[in-house]
Structure 1
C-alpha cells in the first residue's frame, strides 16, 4: 500500500500584475503576456515581497481553457531570493472568463484555477522549497493574482 496523499497550506503569494500584451493567434490559441510588477508572500514559515520583474505567459485555447506559465521571483524578509516557475490551468464558464478578461470581478469559486509551482533558491533555510512538491489554488483579480500554496505531504 502506498502512502496517502495529503496537503498542508504553507503560504500565499499575491502577485500584482500589469497590462496584458497580446502576441496574437499563434495557431494553437491566443498568446498573452502579463507582467508581474510586485506583490507579497505571507505564511507561517516564509514572508517577503514579489520582485518587480517576470511575467505570466498564457495561451488561451479556442474553448477558453487557459494554459499559463508564470516565471518570477520573490525576496524573503531575511534576504533570500526564491525563483518561481508556476504552471497551471484556468477554466470556467465562458461568460465568467470573458468578464475576467475585461477586468470585472468574478467569484473565484466559480473558476477552476490550479497550478503547480516549483521553487529554486540557494538559501539553506529555504531548501525545503526544492525538496517538496507543491500545488496551488489561485484567484485572478483585475490587478493581482492570489495563489494559496500547499505542500504535498
Structure 2
C-alpha cells in the first residue's frame, strides 16, 4: 500500500502564477436567446492587457466568448465558456489562446454580477473558472505550446479579469 501512495504523490498537481489577463468587453453581451441547448450569449473582446513575470502585452480586439447558461438547482445559474483571443506581447509576438470554463452565480448576486455599472461584487460570492491553452509560432514563447493553465475570474466594470496559473 505504501508503494501505491508514493506513486500517487508523484502525480499531484501544482501550479505557478502565469499572468493576469484583463479582457475588455466593450458593448456588453449580445443575447442570442434561449434555444433547446440553453441560453446563448456572446461577448466581443475589444482589447485588454496581460501582465506577468514571463509574459506581458495587450489583448487584441476581435476575439470573443460564447457562453451558454442554464440553472443549477433552485438558487443558482450555471454557465459554460467557449472563448478565443489573440495576445500580442510587448515584444511583438502573437499568442492565440482558447479556453473553456464554468461559472456558478447564486441568484442573490446575479443582478449585480450581470450589470457592469453595478458596484463591485466580491468574487468569493460566485464561481468563475477557465482552462486556457495556448498556440504560438514564437520561439521565445514556444514553452506556452505545452502549457495547460487554469484561471480564477472576476467580473469588472470593463469586462473580466482572470488570474491565470500554469499547471505543473
Cα deviations by residue, 1:21-75 (Å, 9 ceiling, x for unpaired): 1110011211000110000010000010000111110001134101111111110
Residue number among 54, 69, 82 corresponding to 2:63 in the alignment = 54
Equivalence for 1:102: 115
Structure 1 position 135 matched with structure 2 position 150: yes
TM-score (norm 2): 0.86
Larger radius of gyration: 2
Structure 1 position 16 matched with structure 2 position 29: no
Q: Which blocks of at least 5 consecutive residues in structure 1 are unaligned?
A: none
Cα deviations by residue, 1:63-90 (Å, 9 ceiling, x for unpaired): 4101111111110011100011011001
Deviating beyond 6 angstroms after TM superposition, the runs of 4 or more aligned structure 1 residues are none
Q: Shift of residue 98 of structure 1?
A: 2.8
Q: Which blocks of at least 5 consecutive residues in structure 2 are unaligned?
A: 1-6
SS state of the match for residue 140, structure 2?
helix
Tell me the distance in 2 between the aligned counterparts of 1:29 and 1:99: 22
Tell me the distance in 2 between the aligned counterparts of 1:98 and 1:47: 33
Evaluate the alpha carbon distance shift between residue 9 and residue 50 of structure 1 in structure 2; reply closer, same or farther with a 3 A threshold: same
**For the Cα contact (< 8 Å) 1:16–1:38, is it kept in 2?**
yes
Tell me the distance in 1 between the aligned counterparts of 2:80 and 2:111: 15
Tell me the distance in 1 between the aligned counterparts of 2:52 and 2:40: 33
SS state of the match for residue 71, structure 1?
strand
Residue number among 14, 17, 22 corresponding to 1:6 in the alignment = 14
Query: What is the number of residues matched between the two proteins?
Result: 153
Tell me the distance in 1 between the aligned counterparts of 2:157 and 2:108: 16
Tell me the distance in 1 between the aligned counterparts of 2:62 and 2:145: 21
Q: Shift of residue 142 of structure 1?
A: 3.1
Equivalence for 1:42: 51
Equivalence for 1:69: 82
